[in-house]
Amino acid sequence: MEEKGQIKLTGIKTIQETKEENKYYHNKSPKNRLFFNSVTGEEINLDYENEEDMYTMLPGLEEYSEDKISNCTDLNEKDKKFFHMWNNFMKNKNISENYKEILIEFLKDNYKIILEMELKKNFMFHLLTIYENRQINEENIINIIGFFDKLNKQYQEEKKEKLNEENKK
């Protein structure tokens, strides 16, 4: 018999039950992702050694991802360019790696493009999104922004030197 003022909840799952059911969704490792055939709805059993193999086992995944970004009406052109650059960089990375190191490597590889295409704001927003998803902490943000500022200063000095050399000719 229920006591007065108590509500009996039925069919409500505990947090642990929900996490257990969604363990593939919450697990960061791409190897534990579930993939389904979009026509038949059947689960696709992927057996790959590393993430690079995943793209060869899912034909059209990379093109689909590129098209999805390109056709998104919620993104401006700079957002699209940045996301294409980020996705191309990340396709050979393990997402369970240290995100700070990944972001530093991304900057080393792409800082000139980011600065030339004026994508710094897009990078900063992406950095905050990664922070909101708890992949990096405040200290990482400070270090990454400091590193980006050093690269920016170096780039500006190189640009200035190149301009001075051209003016001397």
70-106 pLDDT per residue, tens: 888 888 899 989 998 998 898 877 776 788 999 999 9
CB-side neighbour CA atoms (13 Å) of 92: 5
| 0.75 surpassed by pTM | no
Q: Answer whether residue 31 is part of any domain.
A: yes
Q: Structural domain of residue 33, as residue ranges? A: 17-59
Q: Answer whether residue 11 is part of any domain.
A: no
Which uninterrupted H or E stretch holds 157? Answer: helix 138-168
Whether residues 26 and 90 share a domain: the answer is no
pLDDT band at 34 (very low <50, low <70, confident <90, very high): low
Tally of structural domains, the chain: 2
Whether residues 44 and 118 share a domain: the answer is no
Whether residues 49 and 110 share a domain: the answer is no
Q: Answer whether residue 157 is part of any domain.
A: yes
For the chain, how far is it from start to end, CA to CA, in angstroms? 95
The answer to whether 122 touches 79, Cβ cutoff 8 Å, is yes
Give the lowest-confidence range in 39-53, 98-112, 152-166: 39-53
The answer to whether 127 touches 144, Cβ cutoff 8 Å, is yes
Q: Answer whether residue 3 is part of any domain.
A: no
Per-residue three-class SS string for 45-75: CCCCCCHHHHHHHCCCHHHHHHHHHHCCCCC
pLDDT band at 116 (very low <50, low <70, confident <90, very high): very high
Mean pLDDT across 54-62: 58
Whether residues 161 and 79 share a domain: the answer is yes
Whether residues 49 and 95 share a domain: the answer is no
Whether residues 40 and 122 share a domain: the answer is no
User: Whole-angstrom Cα distance, residue 33 to residue 166?
Assistant: 53
Whether residues 41 and 123 share a domain: the answer is no
